[in-house]
Structures are given as C-alpha cells and as structure tokens.
Structure 1
Amino acid sequence: MNFNFLSPVSDSVLAHIQLQAKQALGRKLKIHSLQNGIPDLDDVQIAIIGVLENRNDINYLGEDFSLDEIRKTFYSLFPGSWRTEIADLGDINKGDSTEDTFFALKTILSILLTKNIIPIILGGSQDITYANYRAYDSVMPMVNIVNVDSKFDLGDSSKPIKNNSFIGKIILDQPYNLFNYSIIGYQTYFNPQEEIDLIEKLYFESYRLGEISKDITLVEPVMRDANIVSIDLNSVKASEVSQNQKHSPNGFDGKEICAIARYAGISNKVSSFGIYEYKPSKKDDNTSMLVAQIIWYFIEGVNFRVKDDDFNNENHYQKFITLVDSQELIFYKSVKTGRWWIEIPFLSKVNNKLKKHTLLPCMHQDYVNACNNTIPERWYKAFQKNSV
C-alpha cells in the first residue's frame, strides 16, 4: 500500500506516552513510529492523519506548524467503553507544491475509504477538504458535504484555490460529484449577500449560528446524510481557544462543537471527518484540549452507531402518510432508535441523479409540521434539487 507519503509521529510525542496512565488512549492506539513503521490496519476502524499544509491560507506568511500538542493532549485522555481499533498514521508533510500535498492525501484517503476505515484529518488550511472530496471520485458517485463554519467559503472559483474559496471549486470542478452541501453555524456578517443567495438558489442547506445554538438537535439529521464533515476551528468563539486561534467573539462554545462532532460520529454515512484551521501558539493548552475533545466525541459517536435504516423489513419501522397541499408526504420512523426519514419521490420524466425513492433524514418535528400543513424545508430543497 502506498503510505510512503506519511512521516511518523515524533519521538517527543511517543516519549510523552510513557508518562501516561496505562488506561490512557496513547497506550491503546496503533501508532506510526520511526522504529516500528506503519501499523497493521487489518482491524482498524478509525485512522488519524495530520496534514501539515497551510500555504493556501489567505493569511499565510510562511509559518510552519506542528500537531504535537494535539496528539499529546489526545493521547492523555481516557477512552470511553469503545470497541473500535484506532490508528495514528502520522503526518503528510508539505509537498513541493500544494497540489503534491493534495495528491498524497487523496491517495491515502482512497485506500482508507476502500478499506472502510474512517479517516480523521487534522489540518492546516481548510482547502484540504477539496483533496478529501476528490478521494471519493473512485469510491462513490455522489457525495454530501457538511461544513461547520462561520463562512460559506465559496469565494472566486476562477482563481487558484484558497481556504476561502474551496467550496466554489468543489461545486464547479469536474467531475461533478457533489450532491448536497450544508453549512452549520454560518454568521451572516461574514458572508456576502450574493453568496447567501447563491446557496439558496442551488437548494443547498444553511443553518445560522443562532438557529443551531437554540436547538443543537437540528444538526443530527443533517449529519445523518453526510459523507464528509469538515470543521473550521474559526467557527468556535474566541473565549474557548488560545491566542492565535481567536477569530470572533461569537461562535460555538466547547460543548456545542463537541456535540456536533458526536452527531457526525453517530451518523452511519459519515466516512471522513476533518478539523482544520489549527493555529498553535506558545500557550496552546486550550485549543489543543478542545481539538482533542472534538476527536474524542467523534470517536465516541462512531462507537454508538446503530444500523437503523433497513426499510426492507416492515418490523423495523413505522410508516406515516400525510397530505400537505395535495402533496402526499411519506415518513418512516425507526422502531430501534426512533429516528425519522421522509421519502423524496422519484421523478420518472427527469434525468436526475437519483434513480429510486430516496429517504432523507428528518426530525419528528418535520412530521408534526407536515400534519399542520407545512412542507419541511429539507424535503422541499431535496425535491427541487432532484427536479433539476
């Protein structure tokens, strides 16, 4: 397997493990070290990969960074009652160009995805998400991306890719594999009105910071439909992080961002998870601990995954039918978990990307609203997108 692009976890981090309790995570992970090489991945379900690339950051000034503090902090935490085997594959260093780094990451991710191993990517600039997306080209035909961010990152896609324009590249670059894009926690004053309008026009989903802070459970059905989750640490408010990481007085608090990570983990569809825009400083305790806890909660979520979307067996679900403006809406509720889905009808006359009835994750409240003659917004957007 082509893992030549990976450099091992540093000796100082490995030495730090020896100071930890026997039950700590650092003692339980399979770790890529200089001495032992790449660990055996046969039983591994989750693999951590660092990507030391930040040259596409619009504020890049030539600085390098390390993920050692995050690793030391994460290794010192205790696992939950987990059954997953976790590996730390080390870092991808900067290539001669950002394209080289992207190629290395895409190659490694394609291997991991084919082996059904979930990569957790720790990165510099968030445009690395583009390489993550491209790794799916040979794996699956259509991809859903959820971006936890204060900004849309659509940017000017006619210019070279940057960390504020990578979503524009994902939407417009061939092959067109993006089916749905959702943003969680955007802050209106950071986004041009034209971009907000474009997201609406494309029937993508956008959730303002206030909406999510008011009801964090809105995140769950969005994550249940995601393949790629990308978290921008700038979506976290300044009071929660260290000096270099501070971005805005408004944003998610530590509890909210960890809850979002757990929802991503619980989703049966999420097959890659990235945390980006990490900017270490001398006193980095807050940020490294927050990132370590985000990783912890994602893994915790993966351990609580339940296969509840088998709709071939009538004993596994309840079916509800309601009429809204003469439109028949069909809902399904899992007997096992109580989670809800709504059916998106197949339009036979349209050459769309979905060739069968598709079930869209939703909430119980969507069913209640439908009973009160209100079409769920997620259903409307998915229906319109399928009609294009």
Structure 2
Amino acid sequence: MPAHSVGKSLRPRSRQIAVAIIGLDAAVAQKTREHLYASSWAFGKLVVRDLGDIRKDTRDFIIPLLRELYAAGITPVLLGGNNALFAAQYLAFAELNRQVSLLQIDRCIGLNPHQEGSDVLDAAVYRPGRKQYHVAHLGAQQHLVDPAVWDFFDAHGFEAVRLGQARADVTQLEPLLRDADLVGLDISAINHNEAPARNGFHPSGFSLQEASQLAYYAGNSDKLSSFGLFGLNPAAGTTAETELTAAAYAQLVWYFLQGYSLRVGDFPATTKGLLEYIVDLQGFDRLTFWRSPRSNRWWVQVHDGKYQGEARHRLVPCAYQDYLLASNEQTLPDRLLLAMRRYTNAG
C-alpha cells in the first residue's frame, strides 16, 4: 500500500486512541478492510486503531467490550453482518447507567409494536427499568412497515423520517444525527444497485452518496460515540456483488472518519462559548437558541424548570432555519415540537 493510504496510517502513534475499528463478522470485516486500507488517508492527526475481530458474536460477549471502549472515550466503528447485534451496540450504554439517544438507518423499522420479541429495537423500548432516552429512525419505506409501528413511534415521542422525506433534503437530517449518541446503519437502507450483497429484494433506498453524507454527519457530531454498519451478507450475492457492497462499507467508514477528524469540540455540555438568541414565542414563554461561532451550528434549549433527563440532553440540535421560523413566523417545525413534548412535562 502507498504511504498515503489508510492502511499505512493505522500504525500506533499515540496511547490516546480516538476511534477503534472492530469486526463483528470476520468475513465482512476482512472484505471491508481490503477496500478501506487502500483508500487515501485524509484525517490529519486522528488516531485510529484496528482492534481486529471479536472472538464470539454474542451480545453477552460484545457488550462488556463496548462498555470498556465507551468508558475510555474511544469511539468504536463496528463492521457487522447480522443487524441483531445493533442491540449490543446500544445496550452497552446501560452498563454505564447512561441515558442514550439511538438512531437507526434502515429500510424498515425492526420493532414489534405490541410486545417484546426478537426485533432489533425491542430491547431499547421494552427493557425493564431505565429506557433509552430517545429512539430515532431514518429511511423506512412505508410499504415495508407495519402501520402500528408508526402509531407506536407517535405515542412514545420517537422520531421516524421516511425515505422520501429524508431524501428530499439530506442536509436537514444533520441536526437529527447530531442528537444521537450512537448510529447503526443497515446497508439495506441503500438502493440495491449500489449494495447488492444483502438479504431480500428491495430496490429502493438512499444513494451511496447520500448515505456517505449521513455517515459524515455522524462522525462530525461531538455527541456521537459509536457507529455500526450491518447487513452485508456475502452468501446473498456473487463475488462481484460482495466486493461492491464491501466497497460501500469502506466508503461509509471513510466518510465517518473524515467527519470525525473535523470535529470542532462544540458539543454543548455547557453554554460557555455559545452565542445566545432569545425568541418570545406564544405558548412557550421564551425560547433560547444557541449558536456555536466555531461551527455555526444551532441548538434550542429545553426550559430548565420542565426538563427531564440528563443535563447533556438539555440542548436540542436544530438548524438556523428553525430559529428563523420561530423568530419571524412564531412557529416551530414538527421535529422541535416533538422534542419539547418528549423532553418536558408540557404536552
């Protein structure tokens, strides 16, 4: 490999690892590495290590490993096959007693709306005791989803952005990704022609370019601390189709790393260094918007007296257009109205 390649840049350079690549499926991970390692390194001084493949592909084995990485401030990039392991990705946060916002990108929503079963999101919404703080979903195709799932999401204040709405303007999804602690992306969310080695015959989806933009947004978010790829099944495609899908995996990882390397450290654990904008909005008393001068990103603050949950969730990511809508037209977009309902006691 040439000196400028990713493979040549994974040598140990620091004890302070930022990102760790881990294979949850050895065959999938090896194919992905072949394409990722040959690509160009464009991530500056970002310290990335490949920790190899796990020895056992079970939740009980994976969760303690991820817990240790999360506790150490290391962001894992998971190369998986079966998307059932997305549950291990988010349940590891429970070991740290943290409330998390999880986001899944998939063509369907893996949730039983009636009772806990074996679907991938069931453990997030039915887990006894402390629930996940928020669940969001991108890219679901209406003809593949049980209508009761939409009702379940509405009743629990969860967010679901359907494929057509998501593709209308991918840039509008950035605040939603910035609100997530972890992202799991199933390759079946991408159209079949660009990622054919997966289960099922479903032609529609995001383009790989659009999915790469989502991966970049995920990496660029200071809040996000885990990124997983799932769904590649070498047995479901020809050799050429498997190589093409593995190359798609590698491209998604590359753009995640690029986004990560350009983080500016403006996650608002506090409002220090942020610029304040007050809007008098009927029905909400006053709303406080905050803007980071470093990244020009925006947040809206949940009223302190009504806030529920960990302090780090107190500021909800939004866009400049949301501030203009509130200040000029005295209204809020549906996403922020849902957030106010979810994060406060107000209806």
Secondary structure of 2:21 counterpart: strand
Query: Residue 166 of structure 1: which of 120, 128, 133 is its match?
Result: 120
Question: What is the one-letter code of the residue matched to 1:216?
Answer: V
User: Which residue matches 2:160?
Assistant: 206
Q: In the alignment, does 2:297 pair up with 1:339? A: yes
Q: In the alignment, does 2:336 pair up with 1:379? A: yes
- Quick check: 1:245–1:287 contact (8 Å CA) kept in 2? no
Secondary structure of 1:150 counterpart: coil
CA distance 1:107–1:245, shift in 2 (3 Å): same
User: Which residue matches 2:59?
Assistant: 102
Q: In the alignment, does 2:57 pair up with 1:76? A: no
Q: In the alignment, does 2:102 pair up with 1:145? A: yes
Question: What is the one-letter code of the residue matched to 2:2?
Answer: A
Q: In the alignment, does 2:90 pair up with 1:133? A: yes
Q: How far is 1:151 from its partner? A: 1.2
In structure 1, distance between residues paired with 2:213 and 2:99: 27
In structure 1, distance between residues paired with 2:208 and 2:123: 30
User: Which residue matches 1:365?
Assistant: 321
Q: In the alignment, does 2:67 pair up with 1:86? A: no
- Quick check: 1:124–1:279 contact (8 Å CA) kept in 2? yes
Q: In the alignment, does 2:17 pair up with 1:44? A: yes
CA distance 1:123–1:27, shift in 2 (3 Å): same
Residue identity (%): 27
In structure 1, distance between residues paired with 2:113 and 2:297: 39
In structure 2, distance between residues paired with 1:68 and 1:359: 39
In structure 1, distance between residues paired with 2:341 and 2:319: 20
Q: How far is 1:103 from its partner? A: 1.6
Question: What is the one-letter code of the residue matched to 2:290?
Answer: Y
In structure 2, distance between residues paired with 1:386 and 1:46: 30
Question: What is the one-letter code of the residue matched to 2:121?
Answer: I
Bigger share in helix: 2
In structure 1, distance between residues paired with 2:160 and 2:213: 18
In structure 1, distance between residues paired with 2:149 and 2:301: 29
Q: How far is 1:257 from its partner? A: 0.4
TM-score (norm 2): 0.90
Runs of 5+ unmatched residues, structure 1: 1-19, 31-38, 54-64, 96-100
Query: Residue 353 of structure 1: which of 309, 313, 321 is its match?
Result: 309
Kindly provide the CA deviation profile for residues 339-387 of structure 1, in whole angstroms up to 9, marking residues without a partner as x: 1111111345x8x335699211101111122131222323322222234
Question: What is the one-letter code of the residue matched to 2:216?
Answer: R
- Quick check: 2:28–2:232 contact (8 Å CA) kept in 1? no
User: Which residue matches 1:56?
Assistant: none
Runs of 5+ unmatched residues, structure 2: none
- Quick check: 2:7–2:36 contact (8 Å CA) kept in 1? yes
Secondary structure of 1:166 counterpart: coil
Q: How far is 1:245 from its partner? A: 5.8
CA distance 1:40–1:174, shift in 2 (3 Å): farther
Note the 1:175-254 alignment, pairs <5 A: 175-244=129-198, 247-254=201-208
TM-score (norm 1): 0.81
CA distance 1:362–1:118, shift in 2 (3 Å): same
Aligned residue-pair number: 339
- Quick check: 2:281–2:330 contact (8 Å CA) kept in 1? yes
Q: In the alignment, does 2:228 pair up with 1:274? A: yes
Secondary structure of 1:207 counterpart: strand
